[in-house]
């Protein structure tokens, strides 16, 4: 058989092949040691040297052509096979099977974390202290006079004459002031606090506060205001207006109540802010000189400011929660509502 | 404190200052105004006379009236039953604004109506302040009132506005009208009219003995007035007391209350004829009973301040007088007490006996120690004028602790430095003058003398607060000059706590926060701690909140119970809390697991949480923190089998130190909390905070392939997994890891034994292991298993 005919037959055969097995058979038929192409080589010995050269070249060309076509065909067949397989492997993507639930941080800790992170970014340390505290650090050092109503049995959980459940996170600050010997002090103090209130929608005998304290040189009310502006922006989105009102706390003098323009209505007046455009959020002031002196700092040279807020109140305002008891009942359906701080 | 706007207007210049503006500025300056209450409201009102009233053609209850308002006659349809010809009425003309609505010309069932005849309710008058007739119809005006008058609210006596103020605890001076007038004067820089008040000076020459036998009284004055006539108080006194929320009784009592409201000095009035002699003594240290004028008997304790007359208690200082010395309808001669008692003592007494009055409130806040003489003269004047007093006999005043004026020196620089402001001397001087601080400028220094009514002003910082609140907080800058560079951050334990939350959240566990104070039932679940170490509250709110908890199990199970009762899904929770007891402070973590770890019905997967998922979570959590599981040991729980299954729980050790417990909760505990059987863990985090963490360093990867061999052994059933693994691991250094992949104790295994299948991975960092090396290691393992664990090698 001559090359021409073999070529024609090969082209017909390869055209008809539909799977890899048949293709392999074809490959063997033509290119193996006993294959048709090798058979052509047998014919070479009958040819003259010159003819040998040109014939050999032709046979080689033909062999290359055959291998090329087989390779091409193999690619096509594999592609077709893959296409067939993936086109027939189907699932219902609208079906839900597993329910992966990531757990939630408690909403109060969510707020605490956000505030901590803001102040950490401003160079503050986080200090926590102990919930069972001495009367001394809770009241005496916070400049709360002995006859102050807060020091009554009726308002504070006393364990004995000296010990109590701290009534405010100011107790952490008074300890920090006592323990530190170098300035500046920049701390943020979150924690659980306790007051003898009957639990109802707006009162809880246990709640969380965060207080901040800065002590150093040349601190003024303007520094306090600037710091609180950043806190207000972080808590209730940017662009809050903050408003100071004079107030009274034994720990600070002067003392200020700080209102933040309502995040719901932007100060126009709504139910959340009781139409005042502002929400009472923080207590603050310049650290009372007696507090500094008691802790061994020269109040004529150093000054400080402090501020505090109720964590539950922030969460309630932010998310529109109407009952403080929700935070401590821990109905998981409630807790799971608060995935992010926005 | 309720402030009558009308009354205040007589004490300070309020022209062009509306109640709203007043409230706003007072609030911003520190006196919070919580509410503004108008007695009545309405514009475009006029007095009219109904000149005809005929039935509406189309209605049974409406009438069509013609109302004369002097310049005009209006057609008005009215639905009130008491509307009739000839009465004078309040007409709201078209365009009138009433609380909640506006009057427009309208057609009522086809008849034009040009206004409305008003009831008091339509003017916004509190229904509690209306008579039956007023509530049921339109207001009928006295016939003497001329028609056409537009000052309708004044005619009705309903033109006052009451501001509800909530002074801060330090501002005792804002519990009287004089103090508020001075405050308003300072804020708006307006003149007060306090110099227009009328007084009757009384001489301190009364023939009466006052003995102060206690150091809890600063001064005591006894004023004697004779020949009084008890009757109703004049209208202005009644109106003002009512606007302040004080009920009126008779002229004597009312005048006392009036002066208290006006100047802040509380009084007590004794019927002079009921006293036994001319001696009053102020004492403490009594332990007896006392019949007060409310006819109740109270137990008097040593710290209560009492007033005695002839050995008998006639008053409980600042709180209440005695029943047998009180004034009544027949009283004519009285002895009026104006004293300054120790505020703390009065508070304790008043709080203990639950006796609160306007007087005790003011004593508790602290009264102006110098106002008594002014108050006595004012009272004397009003008693003479409205109590028909024949004779103001005189007063006897004894001062035990004279008032010392506070003097403060402050410089302009100090003020501006503390506030961060740029005020000049003139501005500051103006504020100090408006506050009556009597400033004298001495070089750079202001020397101040603080008036006696401002007991809250003690130090320089107080002055700064006064300056900024009067000047306004808008003067404060907010440019942050805080330039102290510091490095902030969390400490080690705070970081670990945050990481703990993140890791456990990743396992689908929700965080809870429960109460620190618990009851006896929950206290029984304080694990691994001596119950007698817990703190107890002296006088708890209730039994439910008596103990300071030492552990978390009770609180957590209570929370689980709540959620299970509500069919909440996936109750897998944790809590982290710090604790204090009589011996130490510590932090614990509790984990409770009950529901599925992973479930899919479609994929037929249902992995329930059990001891092993709990343990895996713990190990994985600790590994994340840098604590490898080979530092942990789980030992037989012989410490607490009351809360856990004895053989499905264990004590956890880290580096040989006990850190906690984990296991399946005991059925009796599940029953106690009505919860499903489940697993629980509680560990002490302090050891975890402190312990060494694995260093994060690069370890070269295995260069040579590892080899794996399986082995099955038969061992006694009580040989535990960790001892088998340890035995294998310690047999040869080529052992890289050991895993138990099957435990079988069914058919074919002799009683008391189990078959354990192990998969062992061998590896060397020096070369590819040869068959000989492997066999060598394998033989050592077999040898140890047989000799140390009495195992039988099955293949």
* pLDDT, block means (10 residues), chain B with 795 residues: 95 96 94 92 93 89 92 91 92 91 90 92 88 90 91 90 93 96 96 95 94 96 95 92 91 96 97 95 93 93 94 94 93 95 93 92 94 96 93 95 95 93 94 96 94 94 95 82 80 97 96 97 96 95 96 97 95 97 97 90 90 96 95 94 95 97 97 95 97 91 91 92 92 93 90 93 91 93 93 85
* Residue that has been written with the tokens 């040279």 in this structure: A301
Task: Give the Cβ contact number of residue B524 at 10 Å.
Answer: 15
Same domain, B545 and B628: yes
Q: Which of B347, B510, B580 sits opposite A336 (nearest CB)?
A: B510
Could you please report the per-residue DSSP string of B715-737?
EETT--HHHHHHHHHTT-TTEEE
Question: Which of B536, B580, B583 is CA-nearest to residue A132?
Answer: B580
Q: Which residues of A touch B495 (CB under 8 A)?
A: none
Distance, in Å, from the CA atom of A228 to the CA atom of A232, rounded to the nearest integer, reads: 6
B725 domain residue, yes or no: yes
Q: Which residues of B touch A196 (CB under 8 A)?
A: 541
CB contact under 8 A, B512 and A247: no
Distance, in Å, from the CA atom of A189 to the CA atom of A311, rounded to the nearest integer, reads: 12
Distance, in Å, from the CA atom of B122 to the CA atom of B138, rounded to the nearest integer, reads: 9
**B498 touching A, CB under 8 A?**
yes
Q: Which of A158, A222, A328 sits opposite B538 (nearest CB)?
A: A158
Tokens encoding B310: 């002839």
Q: Which of A221, A246, A303 sits opposite B29 (nearest CB)?
A: A246
A194, A221, A258: best mutation site toward chain B, by most B Cβ within 10 Å?
A221
**B705 touching A, CB under 8 A?**
no
Supply the pLDDT for residue A264: 86
Same domain, B456 and B352: no
pLDDT band at A120 (very low <50, low <70, confident <90, very high): very high
The domain limits of chain A are 3-88, 107-335
Taking CA atoms, B332 is separated from A170, A192, B269, B389, B611, in Å, by 56, 60, 11, 8, 87
**B578 touching A, CB under 8 A?**
yes
Same domain, B149 and B81: yes
Q: Which residues of B touch A131 (CB under 8 A)?
A: 516, 578, 580
**A195 touching B, CB under 8 A?**
no
Contact map slice: B 160-179 vs A, CB within 8 A: 168-171
Query: Is there a cis peptide before residue A254, judged by omega within 30 degrees of 0?
Result: yes
Q: Which domain holds residue B770?
A: 707-793
Query: Is there a cis peptide before residue B245, judged by omega within 30 degrees of 0?
Result: no
Residues in Cβ contact with B719 at an 8 Å cutoff, skipping those fewer than 6 apart? B789, B791
pLDDT at A150 over 80: no
Q: Residue B433: what are its φ and ψ, rounded to 5°?
A: -70, -40
CB contact under 8 A, B30 and A125: no
pLDDT at A85 over 70: yes
Say how many CA atoms lie within 13 Å of A304 toward its Cβ: 29
B203 domain residue, yes or no: no
pLDDT at A87 over 90: yes
**A158 touching B, CB under 8 A?**
yes
CB contact under 8 A, A248 and B171: yes
CB contact under 8 A, A103 and B468: no
Same domain, B788 and B667: no
Residues in Cβ contact with A72 at an 8 Å cutoff, skipping those fewer than 6 apart? none
CB contact under 8 A, B464 and A97: no
B698 domain residue, yes or no: no
Same domain, B666 and B736: no
Contact map slice: B 593-612 vs A, CB within 8 A: 598-600, 602-603, 605
Instruction: Please provide the CATH number assigned to the domain covering A107-335.
Output: 3.30.930.10
Supply the pLDDT for residue A1: 58
Could you please report the per-residue DSSP string of A208-245?
EEEEEEEEEES--HHHHHHHHHHHHHHHS-SS--EEEE
**Residue where a domain stops, chosen among B433, B468, B503:** B468
Distance, in Å, from the CA atom of B121 to the CA atom of B293, rounded to the nearest integer, reads: 38
Could you please report the per-residue DSSP string of B279-310?
EEEEE----EEEEBTTS-EEEE-TTS-EEEET
Same domain, B501 and B596: yes
**A106 touching B, CB under 8 A?**
yes
**A134 touching B, CB under 8 A?**
no
CB contact under 8 A, B420 and A216: no
Q: What are the CB-based long-range contacts (under 8 Å, 24+) for A325-330?
A: A325/A199, A325/A200, A325/A201, A325/A204, A327/A106, A327/A107, A327/A108, A327/A204, A327/B513, A328/A204, A328/A206, A328/B513, A328/B514, A328/B515, A329/B559, A329/B562, A330/A106, A330/B512, A330/B513, A330/B514, A330/B559, A330/B562, A330/B563, A330/B573
Rank A227-241, A274-288, B547-561 by mean pLDDT and report only the highest: B547-561
Task: Give the Cβ contact number of residue B605 at 10 Å.
Answer: 13
- Average pLDDT in the A92-101 region? 86
CB contact under 8 A, A221 and B418: yes
Task: Give the Cβ contact number of residue B434 at 10 Å.
Answer: 17
* Residue that has been written with the tokens 């959240």 in this structure: B505
Same domain, B342 and B237: yes
CB contact under 8 A, B459 and A289: yes
**A222 touching B, CB under 8 A?**
yes
| Alpha-carbon distance A331 to nearest alpha carbon in chain B (angstroms) | 6
Tokens encoding A208: 């969380």
What spatial distance separates the first Cα and last Cα of chain A, rounded to whole Å? 84
Q: What is the pLDDT of residues B188-216, one digit of tens each?
A: 999 999 999 999 999 999 999 999 999 99
CATH number at residue B435: 3.30.56.10
**B544 touching A, CB under 8 A?**
no
Residue A67, judged by CB atoms within 10 A of its CB (0-12, 13-18, 19+), counts as: middle
Residues B349, B305 contacting (CB under 8 angstroms): yes
CATH number at residue B757: 3.30.70.380
CB contact under 8 A, B540 and A157: yes
Same domain, B320 and B372: yes
| Alpha-carbon distance B40 to nearest alpha carbon in chain A (angstroms) | 21
Q: Which of B465, B488, B578 sits opposite A125 (nearest CB)?
A: B488
Per cent of chain A over pLDDT 70 is 99
CB contact under 8 A, B465 and A246: yes
Distance, in Å, from the CA atom of A241 to the CA atom of A243, rounded to the nearest integer, reads: 7
User: Closest chain A residue to B517 measured between Cα atoms?
Assistant: A206
| Alpha-carbon distance A108 to nearest alpha carbon in chain B (angstroms) | 9
| Alpha-carbon distance A330 to nearest alpha carbon in chain B (angstroms) | 6
B141 domain residue, yes or no: yes
Supply the pLDDT for residue A205: 96
Same domain, B234 and B346: yes
pLDDT at A342 over 90: no
Same domain, B637 and B504: yes
Q: What are the CB-based long-range contacts (under 8 Å, 24+) for B606-614?
A: B609/B572, B609/B678, B609/B679, B610/B664, B610/B679, B611/B648, B611/B649, B611/B662, B611/B663, B611/B664, B611/B679, B613/B679, B614/B662, B614/B679, B614/B680, B614/B681
Q: How many domains does chain B have?
A: 6
**A69 touching B, CB under 8 A?**
no
Distance, in Å, from the CA atom of B267 to the CA atom of B311, rounded to the nearest integer, reads: 22
Task: Give the Cβ contact number of residue B128 at 10 Å.
Answer: 5
CB contact under 8 A, B536 and A159: yes
Taking CA atoms, A245 is separated from A144, A227, A271, A282, B27, in Å, by 21, 16, 21, 11, 7
DSSP H helices in B319-368: 343-353, 358-365
Q: Which helix (H) or strand (E) holds A179?
A: helix A170-179
Q: Which residues of A touch B563 (CB under 8 A)?
A: 330-332
**Residue where a domain stops, chosen among B145, B169, B196:** B196
CB contact under 8 A, B514 and A131: no
Supply the pLDDT for residue B540: 93
Torsion angle in degrees (nearest 10) through CA of B633, B639, B643, B645: 60
Residues B78, B137 contacting (CB under 8 angstroms): no
**A333 touching B, CB under 8 A?**
yes
Q: What are the CB-based long-range contacts (under 8 Å, 24+) for B688-696?
A: B688/B496, B688/B622, B688/B625, B688/B627, B688/B654, B688/B659, B689/B492, B689/B493, B689/B496, B689/B587, B691/B627, B691/B631, B691/B654, B691/B655, B692/B655, B693/B625, B693/B626, B693/B627, B694/B626, B694/B627, B694/B628, B696/B626
CB contact under 8 A, A247 and B30: yes
Encode A27-64: b = buried (16+ Cβ within 10 Å), e = exposed.
Answer: beebeeeebbbeebeeeeeeeeeeeeeebeeebeebbe
**B508 touching A, CB under 8 A?**
yes
CB contact under 8 A, B484 and A192: no
**A301 touching B, CB under 8 A?**
no
Tokens encoding B78: 């009215």
Question: Which of B756, B765, B761 is CA-nearest to residue B785?
Answer: B756
Which ipTM score applies to this complex? 0.87
Distance, in Å, from the CA atom of B556 to the CA atom of B673, rounded to the nearest integer, reads: 10
User: Closest chain A residue to B601 measured between Cα atoms?
Assistant: A97
Q: Which residues of B touch A225 (CB under 8 A)?
A: 420, 476-478
**A227 touching B, CB under 8 A?**
yes
CB contact under 8 A, B573 and A163: no
Q: What is the pLDDT of residues B479-528, one digit of tens each?
A: 666 667 889 999 999 999 999 999 999 999 999 999 999 999 999 999 99
Q: Which residues of B touch A212 (CB under 8 A)?
A: none
**A329 touching B, CB under 8 A?**
yes
Q: Which residues of B touch A221 (CB under 8 A)?
A: 418-421, 464, 468, 476
Tokens encoding A338: 């608060």
**Residue where a domain stops, chosen among B352, B377, B399:** B399
Q: Which helix (H) or strand (E) holds B505?
A: helix B492-506
Same domain, B269 and B371: yes
CB contact under 8 A, B344 and A218: no
**B468 touching A, CB under 8 A?**
yes
DSSP H helices in B332-398: 343-353, 358-365, 372-386
Same domain, B458 and B432: yes
CB contact under 8 A, B504 and A103: yes
**B506 touching A, CB under 8 A?**
yes
B696 domain residue, yes or no: no
CATH number at residue B150: 2.40.50.140
**A109 touching B, CB under 8 A?**
yes
């Amino acid at each position: 058989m001559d090359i021409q005919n073999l070529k024609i037959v090969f082209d017909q055969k390869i055209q008809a092949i539909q799977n890899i097995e048949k293709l392999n058979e074809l490959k063997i038929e033509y290119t193996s040691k006993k294959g048709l192409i090798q058979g052509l080589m047998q014919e070479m010995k009958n040819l003259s040297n010159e003819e040998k050269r040109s014939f050999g070249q032709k046979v080689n060309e033909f062999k290359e052509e055959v291998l090329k076509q087989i390779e091409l065909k193999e690619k096509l067949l594999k592609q077709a096979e893959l296409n067939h397989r993936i086109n027939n492997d189907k699932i219902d993507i609208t079906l839900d099977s597993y329910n992966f639930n990531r757990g939630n941080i408690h909403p109060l800790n969510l707020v605490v974390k956000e505030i901590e992170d803001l102040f950490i970014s401003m160079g503050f340390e986080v200090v926590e202290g102990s919930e069972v505290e001495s009367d001394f650090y809770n009241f005496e050092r916070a400049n709360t006079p002995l006859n102050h109503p807060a020091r009554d049995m009726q308002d504070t959980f006393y364990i004995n004459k000296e010990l109590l459940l701290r009534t405010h996170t100011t107790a952490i600050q008074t300890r920090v002031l006592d323990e530190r010997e170098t300035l500046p002090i920049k701390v943020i103090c979150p924690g659980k606090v306790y007051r003898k209130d009957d639990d109802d929608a707006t009162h809880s005998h246990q709640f969380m506060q965060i207080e901040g304290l800065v002590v150093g040189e040349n601190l003024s009310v303007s520094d306090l205001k600037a710091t609180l502006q950043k806190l207000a922006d972080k808590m209730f989105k940017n662009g809050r207006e903050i408003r100071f009102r004079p107030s009274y706390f034994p720990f600070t003098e002067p003392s200020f109540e700080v209102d933040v323009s309502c995040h719901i209505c932007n100060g126009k007046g709504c139910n959340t802010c009781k139409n005042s455009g502002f929400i009472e959020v923080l207590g603050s002031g310049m650290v009372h000189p007696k507090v500094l002196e008691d802790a061994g700092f020269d109040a004529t040279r150093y000054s400080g400011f402090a501020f505090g807020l109720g964590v539950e109140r922030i969460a309630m305002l932010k998310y529109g929660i109407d009952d403080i008891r929700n935070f401590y009942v821990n109905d998981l359906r409630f807790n799971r509502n608060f995935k992010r701080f926005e | 404190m309720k402030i009558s706007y009308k009354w205040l207007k007589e004490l300070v210049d309020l022209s062009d200052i509306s109640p709203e503006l007043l409230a706003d500025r007072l609030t911003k300056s520190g006196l919070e105004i919580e509410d503004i209450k108008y007695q009545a409201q309405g514009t475009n009102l006029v007095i009219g006379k109904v000149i005809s009233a005929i039935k509406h053609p189309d209605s049974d209850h409406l009438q069509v009236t013609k109302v004369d308002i002097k310049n005009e006659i209006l057609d008005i349809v009215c639905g009130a039953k008491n509307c009739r010809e000839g009465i004078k009425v309040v007409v709201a003309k078209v365009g009138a604004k009433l609380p909640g609505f506006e009057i427009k010309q309208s057609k009522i069932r086809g008849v034009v109506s040009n206004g409305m005849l008003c009831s008091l309710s339509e003017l916004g008058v509190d229904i509690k302040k209306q008579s039956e007739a007023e509530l049921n119809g339109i207001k009928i005006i006295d016939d003497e009132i001329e028609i056409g008058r537009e000052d309708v609210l004044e005619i009705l006596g309903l033109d006052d506005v009451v501001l509800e103020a909530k002074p801060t605890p330090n501002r005792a001076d804002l519990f009287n009208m004089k103090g508020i007038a001075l405050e308003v004067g300072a804020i708006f820089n307006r003149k007060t009219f306090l110099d227009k008040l009328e007084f009757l000076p009384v001489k301190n020459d009364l023939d009466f003995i006052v003995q102060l036998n206690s150091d809890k009284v600063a001064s005591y004055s006894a004023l004697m007035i004779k020949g009084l006539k008890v009757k109703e108080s004049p209208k202005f006194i009644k109106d003002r007391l009512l606007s302040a929320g004080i009920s009126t009784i008779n002229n004597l009592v009312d005048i006392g209350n009036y002066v208290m409201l006006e100047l802040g000095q509380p009084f007590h009035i004794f019927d002079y004829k009921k006293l036994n002699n001319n001696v009053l003594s102020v004492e403490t240290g009594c332990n007896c009973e006392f019949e007060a004028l409310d006819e109740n008997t109270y137990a008097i304790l040593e710290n209560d301040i009492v007033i005695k007359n002839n050995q008998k208690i006639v008053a409980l200082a600042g709180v209440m007088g005695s029943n047998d010395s009180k004034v009544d309808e027949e009283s004519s001669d009285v002895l009026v007490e104006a004293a300054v008692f120790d505020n703390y003592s009065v508070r304790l007494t008043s709080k203990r006996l639950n006796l609160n009055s306007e007087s005790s409130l003011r004593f508790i806040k602290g009264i102006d120690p110098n106002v008594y003489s002014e108050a006595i003269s004012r009272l004397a004047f009003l008693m003479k004028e409205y109590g028909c007093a024949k004779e103001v006999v005189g007063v006897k005043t004894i001062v035990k602790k004279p008032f010392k004026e506070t003097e403060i020196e402050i410089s302009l620089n100090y003020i501006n430095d503390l506030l961060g402001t740029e005020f000049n001397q003139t501005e500051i001087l103006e504020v100090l003058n408006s506050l009556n601080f009597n400033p004298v400028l001495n070089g750079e220094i202001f020397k101040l003398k603080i008036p006696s009514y401002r007991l809250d002003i003690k130090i320089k910082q107080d002055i700064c607060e006064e300056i900024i609140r009067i000047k306004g907080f808008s003067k404060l800058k907010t440019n942050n000059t805080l330039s102290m560079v510091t490095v902030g951050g969390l400490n080690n334990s705070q970081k670990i706590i945050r990481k703990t939350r993140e890791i456990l959240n990743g396992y689908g566990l929700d965080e809870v926060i429960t109460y620190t104070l618990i009851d006896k039932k929950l206290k029984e679940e304080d694990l691994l701690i001596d119950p007698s170490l817990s703190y107890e509250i002296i006088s708890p709110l209730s039994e439910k909140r008596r103990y300071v908890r030492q552990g978390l199990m009770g609180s957590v199970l209570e929370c689980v119970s709540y959620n299970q009762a509500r069919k909440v899904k996936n109750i897998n929770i944790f809590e982290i809390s710090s604790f204090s007891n009589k011996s130490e402070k510590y932090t614990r973590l509790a984990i409770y697991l009950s529901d599925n770890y992973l479930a899919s019905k479609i994929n037929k997967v249902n992995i329930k949480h059990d001891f092993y998922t709990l343990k895996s979570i713990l190990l994985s959590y600790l590994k994340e923190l840098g604590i490898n599981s080979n530092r942990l040991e789980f030992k037989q729980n012989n410490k607490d089998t009351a809360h856990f299954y004895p053989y499905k729980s264990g004590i956890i050790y880290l580096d040989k130190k006990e850190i906690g417990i984990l296991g399946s909760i005991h059925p009796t505990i599940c029953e106690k909390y009505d919860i499903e059987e489940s697993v629980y863990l509680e560990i002490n985090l302090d050891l975890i905070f402190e312990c060494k963490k694995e260093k994060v360093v690069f370890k070269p990867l295995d260069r040579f392939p590892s080899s794996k061999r399986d082995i099955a052994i038969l061992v006694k059933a009580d040989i535990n997994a960790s001892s088998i693994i340890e035995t294998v691991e310690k047999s040869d250094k080529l052992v890289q890891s050991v895993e138990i992949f099957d435990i079988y104790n069914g058919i074919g295994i002799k009683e008391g034994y189990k078959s354990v299948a192990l998969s062992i991975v061998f590896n060397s960092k020096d070369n590819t292991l040869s068959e000989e090396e492997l066999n060598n290691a394998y033989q050592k393992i077999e040898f140890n298993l047989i000799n140390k664990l009495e195992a039988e090698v099955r293949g």
